[in-house]
Amino acid sequence: MTEEVRRNYLEINSINDLNEVVEPNKDYSLNLLNPINFQLNKFFYKNIGKKHNWIDRLVWTETQWIDYVSSKKVKTFIFKHKEDLAGFFELISHKNEEIEIAYFGLLEEFQNKKLGSYLLSEAIKISFSENINRVWLHTCSLDHRNALNNYIARGMQIFKTETVVI
């Protein structure tokens, strides 16, 4: 069975273009995952991605996961509610002074609470603290129904759209 999927690539070129949101209460925290732990990346990828057809990494071996999260170009941030895992994002630094938000999401029980807006704002702010020129990501019609609206509401703009068959 094949399906057409619309993929949008979005970018933000200045921290001044970021439309921030209200921080959640103090029960929430966001921290760089240090030391790295590929099992957490894998957990979020599988659990958030299962509803959104994230499939490319499902075939990765343990070695591939470890190599990926061990790269100096990759940083993973973990979002928690008290001690419970809530969400994550992965940032990949690219040579041309830009950062890609590679994966981003909330576990299902934390969705639809405006936490995604906060998490995206933080991903963008953290990225620009690295003295870069652009933050970008891609989303598609299989992602959460509010994903594209959230990206645009934060100040990101679509720079490319394509249709792919999966």
- Beta strands 84-94 and 98-106: pairing type? antiparallel
Quote the pLDDT of residue 143.
85
Kindly state the tokens that stand for 132. Answer: 């870069």
Superfamily (CATH) of domain 4-165? Gcn5-related N-acetyltransferase (GNAT) (3.40.630.30)
**Interatomic CA distance for residues 91 and 108, integer angstroms:** 21
Kindly state the tokens that stand for 22. Answer: 């209200």
Quote the pLDDT of residue 65.
97
List per-residue pLDDT tens for the chain, 166 residues long: 677 889 999 999 999 999 989 899 999 999 999 999 999 999 999 999 998 888 889 999 999 999 999 999 999 999 999 999 999 999 999 988 999 999 999 999 999 999 999 999 999 999 999 989 999 999 988 888 889 999 999 999 999 999 988 7
Q: How many CB atoms lie within 10 A of CB 141?
A: 17
Q: How far is CA 10 from the centre of its chain?
A: 12
Length of the chain: 166
Q: What are phi and psi of 96, to 5 degrees?
A: -90, 40
To which H or E segment does residue 40 belong? helix 38-49
Q: What are phi and psi of 131, to 5 degrees?
A: 60, 55
**Interatomic CA distance for residues 97 and 130, integer angstroms:** 9
CA dihedral (60, 65, 67, 69) in degrees, to 10, reads: 140
